Structure 1
Amino acid sequence: MATDSRSETGTATNEPLHVDGEASLNELVDDHDVVLTDFYADWCGPCQALEPIVETVAEETEATVAKVDVDANQQLAATYGVRGVPTLVLFADGEQVEEVVGLTAEQQLRDLVETYAR
């Protein structure tokens, strides 16, 4: 289960939430309007470089940010077709709407989130 301080209104949280399993991710996607999911691995250099960017996006945008460790959640990563890390999957209104693979600039992620935020 995701550990978070989410409200019951579907508003974003201000820090990334670590997800463990498909049910946990589904719950976040169902409960929040916009969810940016960071599929990462601890050993991945680009993932480590992306981490402060993802944290800033969580703090400063309308998105809820979920973090999925692909080593601990191999089945979940396979479900979403993750073949390389980092992979960012954006959900809006309960549906997967975007996927970005690789190290991504903060402004690009902000723009992506704002496209789907209400």
Structure 2
Amino acid sequence: MSETTRPERLDDGADLDRFIADNDLALVEFYSVGCPKCQAMEPIIGNVARATDAAVAMLNPRDDLSVLDRFDISSTPTLILFKNGEQVGKRAGGVEGTEALVEFVEAA
């Protein structure tokens, strides 16, 4: 189980790159301020942080628009799973429960 109980807030693409490089397994939520689905996902990804070995972070792409193209993000929330620095999974556009996301992370 991860020692981190809350998602880390990332500032920009460089911060994201550091986070991915520093963690063997990383789940990142790309969110928008004022997005009801994104707000609903915040406690769920906190649960994923507590239930898995994945490091979990959040990034508002508005703070660095280059990540939109880089990761082909067209809606929020978008969740991207990285393993050993490589993208291994992606979920976009909806609210998912803790159990479904834990299974998504553990399947990596």
TM-score w.r.t. length of structure 2: 0.90
Q: What is the one-letter code of the residue matched to 1:110?
A: V
1:53-68 map, 5 Å:
53-68=44-59
Q: Which has the higher contact order (CA 8 A, sep 6+)?
A: 2
State the shift of 1:92 in Å.
0.7
Deviation by residue 1:51-110 (Cα, 9 ceiling, x = unmatched): 110111112211111101122222223311110000000001110000001211211110
RMSD of aligned C-alpha atoms? 1.4
CA contact (8 A) 1:12 1:63 kept: no
Aligned to 1:87: 78
> Any gaps of 5 or more consecutive residues in structure 2?
none
CA distance in 2, matches of 1:40, 1:46: 9
CA distance in 1, matches of 2:29, 2:13: 14
Q: Which runs of 4+ in 1 moved over 2 A?
A: 11-14
The answer to whether 1:105 aligns with 2:103 is no
Aligned to 1:34: 25
> Any gaps of 5 or more consecutive residues in structure 1?
1-10
TM-score w.r.t. length of structure 1: 0.83
CA contact (8 A) 1:12 1:32 kept: no
